[in-house]
Amino acid sequence: HAPPVRWGWLLFLALIADLSHLLLDWTNNYGLRPFFPFNPHWYAGNIFFIFEPIFFGGLLLALLMPAILGLADREIGVRRPMFPCRGWAIFALAVGVVLGCWRWAEHDRALEILARQNYQNEPVLKMTVSPYPGDVFQWFGVVETRDFYQTGILNTRAGSFTSEAPDNLYYKQPQTPAILAAKRSWLGQVFLDWSKYPYVAQTDTFDTLHDGAHYIQVRFEDLRFAYNVLFLHGRRDNPLGGTVTIAPNGEVDEMRMNGRLQK
């Protein structure tokens, strides 16, 4: 007959599974709000990219290898062990822990390199580094000063910081009526609540026409994701960005996130 269910042990394992999910969400550069709605703050460890191929490879190997090796065992009549995947599960966990500790150390090293740079003699308000997938030594840095944001690529193995103007400089724009109206919009409030390094810019010309009237478009970007990797296509067109179009009367005409109309 089936063994009795140990409910306390089962609930404990379920809690560990839930907490491990939150921990993994914290390690990436998108972040999470574990204490919402009591605390709306976003937390992000910035040590793993949203998709980390090395970690994924360890998990995939631990999933496939027991099945592959089991085929050979069944052919020769080897008795199936009670927990055939335990060793590979420990292997996958070890890959994640070792890789996470290594990335944590390189993350701190990247911050040290970023802090040593000179940013037009302006004091630094805050800074951060974001990871590249599959490379523990390469990081993307963002620095905020009073007048601008500066981004660049760091290599912790070489101890280098590469930043080329003007692509890596984002000057803060004056708070025009259109920008203020866009920030008050639903999309603007949600974006600014989440974004730690928001860049808000009004288009240089009123090039959006409706019925002969000029409409102003305001762009929202989070500079933590303004780098070229995987699906991030260009510094001026990162996918986690939005636009708010302001009508001539100062009201919001439309809002788009990643090019999709928001209603």
3-state secondary structure 22-34: HHHHHHECCCECC
**Per-residue model confidence as pLDDT tens digits over 87-135:** 888 899 999 999 999 999 999 999 999 999 999 999 999 999 999 998 9
List Cβ neighbours of 94 (8 Å cut-off, separation of 6 or more): none
What sign does the CA torsion over 125, 131, 137, 140 have?
Answer: negative
- Band of the pLDDT at 200, cuts 50, 70, 90? very high
- Band of the pLDDT at 235, cuts 50, 70, 90? very low
- CA–CA distance, 243 with 225 (Å, rounded to integer): 16
List Cβ neighbours of 192 (8 Å cut-off, separation of 6 or more): 183, 198, 220
What is the DSSP secondary structure assignment for residue 118, as one 8-state letter? Answer: -
pLDDT of residue 204 exceeding 90: no
The helix (H) or strand (E) run that includes residue 128 is: strand 126-132
**Per-residue model confidence as pLDDT tens digits over 24-53:** 999 998 889 999 889 989 999 999 998 899
